[in-house]
């Protein structure tokens, strides 16, 4: 079966952690629970194998949302965003963070853990980069921001099947992984948006569109 004739049937979320390992949560196209768990050893390659087995065995595509930055910044940022004018201003201050993160902060949707330069990265960000690299051949891999989804959905009656399997090892981590999965689901169903800065350092998918 060619890629063109396949359809996305599974939606996976990954929460990136160092100490406990990385949690994942997978739902199907009906928002029903499919599987979940933790990966602690050979994490990037283990995720690649997990999704290769999923697409091979079920002959369907999987869309993946990862709660971690896609790439580091190459230098400190010298632009600020004005949401009133939807424009950027150059300044002399040097700050951390990618422009997609700045936009989310400017609209008070969530507080990013600002992406750093390669020489100043926390270990969990490095692990996130390696997971993206391991999954680079998959056609639907997105950066997501569960904290933003919680804020955007707090007045909505959003439902999806939540299974408590494997929650005891890290409840918030597994919940974030499940929200990452439903975020990608909603985005691909046309309900969300993709936040794009002008720095070429990746984008962040949100579950809903930003309202001015």
Q: What is the pLDDT of residues 46-95, one digit of tens each?
A: 999 999 999 888 778 999 999 999 999 999 999 999 988 989 999 888 89
Residue 160, pLDDT > 70, answer yes
Helix (H, G, I), strand (E, B) or coil at 21: coil
Q: How confident is the model at residue 212 (pLDDT cuts 50, 70, 90)?
A: low
Q: What is the CATH number of domain 3-71+116-206?
A: 3.30.420
Share of the chain above pLDDT 90, in %: 85
Residue 2, pLDDT > 50, answer no
Name residues whose C-beta falls within 8 Å of residue 195's C-beta, 6 or more positions apart in sequence.
100, 103, 104, 203, 204, 205, 206, 210
Q: How confident is the model at residue 4 (pLDDT cuts 50, 70, 90)?
A: very low
Listed by start position, the domains of the chain span 3-71+116-206, 77-106
Residue 57 burial (CB < 10 Å; 0-12/13-18/19+)? exposed
Distance CA 134, CA 189 (A): 26
Helix (H, G, I), strand (E, B) or coil at 54: helix
Query: Residues in the chain, how many?
Result: 212
From the list 169, 135, 112, the residue with the least C-alpha distance to 65 is 135
Give the chain's end-to-end CA distance (angstroms, integer): 43
Helix (H, G, I), strand (E, B) or coil at 45: helix
Residue 3, pLDDT > 60, answer no
Chain mean pLDDT for the chain: 93
- Residue 117 DSSP symbol: B
Q: What mean pLDDT comes out for the span 95-108?
A: 95
pTM of the model: 0.94
Residue 29, pLDDT > 90, answer yes
Q: How confident is the model at residue 5 (pLDDT cuts 50, 70, 90)?
A: very low
């Amino acid at each position: 079966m060619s890629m063109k004739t396949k359809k996305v049937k599974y939606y996976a979320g990954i929460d990136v952690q160092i100490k406990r390992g990385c949690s994942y949560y997978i739902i199907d196209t009906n928002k029903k629970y499919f599987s979940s768990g933790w990966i602690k050893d050979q994490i990037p390659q283990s995720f690649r194998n997990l999704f290769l087995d999923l697409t091979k065995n079920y002959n369907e595509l999987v869309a993946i949302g990862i709660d971690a930055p896609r790439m580091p910044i190459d230098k400190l940022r010298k632009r600020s965003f004005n949401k009133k004018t939807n424009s950027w201003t150059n300044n002399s201050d040097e700050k951390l963070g990618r422009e997609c993160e700045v936009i989310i902060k400017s609209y008070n949707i969530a507080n990013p853990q600002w992406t750093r330069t390669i020489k100043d990265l926390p270990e969990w960000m490095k692990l996130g980069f390696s997971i993206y690299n391991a999954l680079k051949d998959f056609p639907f891999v997105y950066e997501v921001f569960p904290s933003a989804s919680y804020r955007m959905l707090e007045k909505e009656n959003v439902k999806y099947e939540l299974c408590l399997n494997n929650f005891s090892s890290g409840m918030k981590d597994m919940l974030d992984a499940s929200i990452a999965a439903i975020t990608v689901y909603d985005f691909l169903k046309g309900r969300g948006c993709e936040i794009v800065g002008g720095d070429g350092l990746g984008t962040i998918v949100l579950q809903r569109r930003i309202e001015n």
